[in-house]
Structure 1
Amino acid sequence: MAFAPTAFTLSCHSSSPARRVEAVSGRITPDGDGLRLRWRIDGAQELVVPAFAGKGRADNLWQTTCFELFIGHDGREGYSEFNLSPSERWAAYDFTARRVGMCERPMPHEPTCTMRVGESMAIFDACVPLAGLPEWPWLCGVSAVIEERDGQRSYWALEHFGAAPDFHDPACFTLALAAPQRP
């Protein structure tokens, strides 16, 4: 599988400003039989990193630092959501429409999640198995919930619409990824 690595830059929703986090950016790249996602958090001095919990599905990961990928399709209401945590817990859901018809999405094996935290920057990497992802082409929403030590949560996405953050808004799915070219 081959497609060009795709960079992204997220913006913080104005209703929930970050205290110390300055920027969240990253890239999506092919990785063998997986899709690698990397988020870089600049200004991570006060970042809350969920404690290691071991691999496994878990709900409500977004209640602390969590990284998310939404995959939709142009002209269709349904979409998939992937929540990836530094704790190594993860979740995958399918929806028939915006926040409607949620069910667990089957995965052939668990995504891998790793986090490295430095003095002022953190890197979160995840690799999601391609066989667990929807059919191509994709309109993606990439997002992050960032919690800082004082309990402040900021909500980062490619685009924001509305007075409150809503990563499920299909208007936020602005990153187009075409089907990869097979060698």
Structure 2
Amino acid sequence: MRVTLKPHPTTPGPDIDITVQMERRGGRLSLRYVVDGDVEGVEWPAPAQGRADDLWKHTCFEIFVRTADGYREFNLSPSGQWASYRFDGYREGMAQAAEVADAPLLDAGADHVGLETVIDLPPGARALGLSAVIEAADGRISYWALAHPSDKPDFHHPGSFVLDLPPERP
């Protein structure tokens, strides 16, 4: 399955396109975010590793998974760092989640950057919200998602979970 993210109308970004390809295998979801276009107009974080907070303050790719008991948020930095959080409800009860993400892998060319990872799907996973925070080389921040149901960027908004999970593959 392949989908395209769009920038929030109030936060135009660099001249890029962002697509996400995904495949589900059992309890894991493989994702590949691809940024095409003016990739030199994007501020890419320096290499780092491990779980880290506040990744969304710079260029970061995100996955939101609705569950029976709330939702999970995964943050994936092109630096190689990642994070996962559990929420009981809309921006409520935030805690570090048990589910993990494989360290993001990056590949790049003259006009594209790809980020790949695999995440653990939480029990009761139902729907997805896919998004990205893009920091431009000039410091401007743009917010990209499948849907923008609010007049301000808000990836946590219940209306952002617009994608059904891909069917399982053997």
Give the TM-score of the pair, scaled to structure 1. 0.84
1:26 Cα offset (Å): 1.4
Matched, 1:169 2:157: yes
Aligned runs of 1:46-85 on 2, under 5 Å? 46-54=41-49, 56-73=50-67, 76=68, 78-85=70-77
- What are the Cα deviations for residues 109-133 of structure 1, in whole angstroms up to 9, with x where unaligned? 65221122222211111122x3xx2
The alignment-based identity, stated in percent, is 39
CA distance in 2, matches of 1:32, 1:96: 24
Q: Structure 1: any 5+ residue segments left out of the alignment? A: 1-5
2:31 aligns with 37
Structure 1 contact 20–45 (Cα < 8 Å) conserved: no
Query: CA 1:8–1:136 in 2, change beyond 3 Å: closer, same or farther?
Result: farther
85, 88, 91: which one aligns with 1:96? 88
Query: CA 1:179–1:121 in 2, change beyond 3 Å: closer, same or farther?
Result: closer
Matched, 1:19 2:19: no
Runs of 4+ with >6 A deviation? none
Matched, 1:155 2:149: no
- What are the Cα deviations for residues 26-59 of structure 1, in whole angstroms up to 9, with x where unaligned? 11113687421111111212121111112x1111
CA distance in 1, matches of 2:73, 2:15: 27
Query: CA 1:101–1:125 in 2, change beyond 3 Å: closer, same or farther?
Result: same
Structure 1 contact 57–90 (Cα < 8 Å) conserved: yes
Matched, 1:118 2:109: yes
Query: CA 1:61–1:172 in 2, change beyond 3 Å: closer, same or farther?
Result: same
Structure 1 contact 137–179 (Cα < 8 Å) conserved: no
1:77 Cα offset (Å): 6.3
Match of 1:11, as an amino acid? Answer: K
Match of 2:31, as an amino acid? Answer: L
1:3 aligns with none
Compute the RMSD of aligned alpha carbons. Answer: 2.0
